[in-house]
Structure 1
């Protein structure tokens, strides 16, 4: 195979103006060997600089466009989703994935996480669902490639989904564990400085701590809450009904409500931030409540610490499903070790 004298990243830049018909995964699979000694996992062209095309090495590319650009340079390369082509097992994951977010809670024990009557672990169901989606995408693409091509070694630069949810360290450790469980050699070539920071995980949604912004938000909330209570008290008493829906569902409800025989109680933060929506809520006697995180006293913090300790000390049974093991590991590393459980306590 020809030796590359120019870095692949430079070749790609030189050929950017060249247009060819996109290569399909199906056609590319037909040209690959039956087996490879190793897989190289990459997500950026620069990671291939210094890597020579090798018939014993299969390059797994996490970026479809990048794979299109390098496929002529590295004929033994494939887009990572090709692993799905080797799956033969059928299951109901497509219908049950969103129901699995709290499976790990039941494995650890609900009572161990109960705080003021609320199971804190379940408050992270949305985040755990997104984490599980990424876990299954990684597991169900990489493992079939390992097994189908009988590889003995993984050279790791990066392995991610198009929607990257895991941070650098967690992503790398996940692949390392996957390799070790299959007795594969794992060579780490990753570089955190080169890691793409455009993630969608919890690390990308840190809360604003600006004091002026916080003051204005609280002033806005308490002012409208007070006005709505005054407006409601001036009207004839009616049964009160809590309406807990998101903004998209709330808008048509507010538009259609005209002083019926109930008094809606609505979270102010769900009300569309427009003068007409707020004015109509006040005029119709809707009670707007402003919820904010409360401070926790020493007793509360001690209770949360007990919950953290009980989760950290949980020993996973050997027969525990891999996905549940992953969820527990994720919760420990991304929630507990980063001190985030107290956020759920404040929200309660």
Structure 2
């Protein structure tokens, strides 16, 4: 059985309907009549939509209305800036605490609401208009990746109905996060240790912290006037930097709490003269607690009258999920902890691998106030999405917090220019690729094919989430037909549920192994062929390993496809077999040089440390 495509118009569809019924669950369909030719059922769930079309319902998936959404929109580049608009009241940010904007620390979360509102609002307006509906019944309405609250779902539908002059029939019966039928689920962490396990962990962490404190004190005393940049990056980046030793005039610091707690790592830090600095924990005074509470009251007073559209949606989200003491007090404590850290260790420079989330953004704001220069390096490629960030100087209401970008290569430099970043660029390459280069292989076998999940980025407001399921089904079938003995589907280790994909595989009788966890390099080492998204750090890692890759970029999308001109990037998964047969693979040398300056001939780790030296080569 072949899945129904968004581009295929079911024969059952009429040109006009009196009513739209928005549903997301079989329990909603049970309240409707399949034979009712006057009601168009708009479905939010892919599997439910597949079944309903097969059963002959008058139905569409809501993303049908977004297929031709190709027109440029300011949100394409400015979604991160718009996610922070709520902070500014008459041009003033009232969430400042010790000079740090607490409100803007939530932009990564706020962008989800901006994107969801854009998609849901636009799709509903287009469907009501296209089918000349006079009524809309809401049972449930959401976007796969953005499980917005029932309150916001209601607000969006009620607002569109009012604006378009159609009757709104409120029958809201929301599917909630955690429902086992959903394609996506909230991220969960393992249960915290209890009893003796908890005590043992606390003792181990205390001993490790003491060892680091002693080690840092000794090394600082041995070299009291040395250049000490602070590097704040994820473990994948830090271990890549450790492939080379810093320059003699440089004694880098790293944030110890974010790194593995092993003796071997401490030895490596000692031999490389790197300081793993403990992160102090600082409390709040009663006066500071009252200051935070006063912030909330300022916004509540300003928002006493309801707003319209997205602005009202953002206000409701902020009231429920941001402007609460449970959210703001821990963030304020983090600000004070960063202050204490900077006072104690006095870094000569701050290097971050992200610019939009705490604690990185807190370090940037406090460092700027103290005159500490800051560098930014990608931890994953942001090109081809030309997305603007306030901390890079793309927001007129805020000064740039980053002085230099430690650029991976040509695409990184192009990206900085296209977003209008107010920082200089120093080329260092991509240090992460070395571990993949070490597994170089000839390829060409037909034993294992690795298919990577393809999902639009959070901030790609025009990407279609349904495209991932058709990509999965057709990709697996094509690889099976090519004769691969095993097809492994590797999911991104985020919110998507394995069970949902397993149900798709069962329903469409796919021969595939579905995997969500495990080290990515192990999957790459085993694969003879990789098929997956062009827009992904995984693509670069695959190319560095020497594994043949067929890469895809699907439209519509807010991403700038001109980056990929001439790079043999595919757009039609139905011709995967032809692409493999014709060796239409990415050229590793070309792509890696564009992204990572790989033809430079010098180790990226060496170049990174040289950029932080006071006497760079």
Deviation at 1:48, TM superposition (A): 0.6
How does 1:1-348 map onto structure 2 within 5 Å?
A: 19=1, 21-28=2-9, 32-53=13-34, 54-85=36-67, 87=69, 89-107=71-89, 109-192=91-174, 195-197=176-178, 220-235=204-219, 236-237=222-223, 238-257=226-245, 260-291=248-279, 294-315=282-303, 322-336=309-323, 339-348=326-335
Q: Structure 2: where are the runs of 5+ without partners?
A: 336-617
Structure 1 equivalent of residue 555 of structure 2: none
Q: Structure 1: where are the runs of 5+ without partners?
A: 1-18
TM-score by length of 1: 0.79
TM-score by length of 2: 0.47
Give the aligned length: 327
User: Does structure 2 retain, via aligned residues, the 8 Å contact 1:42–1:48?
Assistant: yes
User: Does structure 2 retain, via aligned residues, the 8 Å contact 1:251–1:272?
Assistant: no
Structure 2 CA distance for partners of 1:51 and 1:210, relative to 1, 3 Å = same
- C-alpha separation in 1, matches of 2:228 and 2:185: 36
- C-alpha separation in 1, matches of 2:152 and 2:58: 28
- C-alpha separation in 2, matches of 1:90 and 1:33: 30
Deviation at 1:126, TM superposition (A): 1.2
User: Does structure 2 retain, via aligned residues, the 8 Å contact 1:265–1:286?
Assistant: yes
The one-character-per-residue Cα deviations of 1:162-181 (angstroms, maximum 9, x if unpaired) are: 22332334433443344344
User: Does structure 2 retain, via aligned residues, the 8 Å contact 1:224–1:288?
Assistant: no
Structure 2 CA distance for partners of 1:339 and 1:88, relative to 1, 3 Å = same
User: Does structure 2 retain, via aligned residues, the 8 Å contact 1:267–1:290?
Assistant: yes
- C-alpha separation in 2, matches of 1:298 and 1:72: 62
User: Does structure 2 retain, via aligned residues, the 8 Å contact 1:61–1:78?
Assistant: yes
Structure 2 CA distance for partners of 1:254 and 1:229, relative to 1, 3 Å = farther
My pick for the range that moved more, 118-127 or 321-330, is 321-330
Deviation at 1:276, TM superposition (A): 2.9
Deviation at 1:216, TM superposition (A): 6.2
Root-mean-square deviation (CA), in Å? 3.4
The one-character-per-residue Cα deviations of 1:186-245 (angstroms, maximum 9, x if unpaired) are: 3233335x5352589997569978776876666555543432232234343122211122
- C-alpha separation in 2, matches of 1:200 and 1:264: 43
Structure 2 CA distance for partners of 1:137 and 1:290, relative to 1, 3 Å = farther
Structure 2 CA distance for partners of 1:177 and 1:341, relative to 1, 3 Å = farther
Secondary structure of 2:103 counterpart? helix
My pick for the range that moved more, 69-78 or 103-112, is 103-112
Secondary structure of 2:230 counterpart? strand
The one-character-per-residue Cα deviations of 1:247-281 (angstroms, maximum 9, x if unpaired) are: 22211113323674322221113324554334312
- C-alpha separation in 1, matches of 2:294 and 2:60: 48
Q: Which structure has greater helix proportion? A: 1
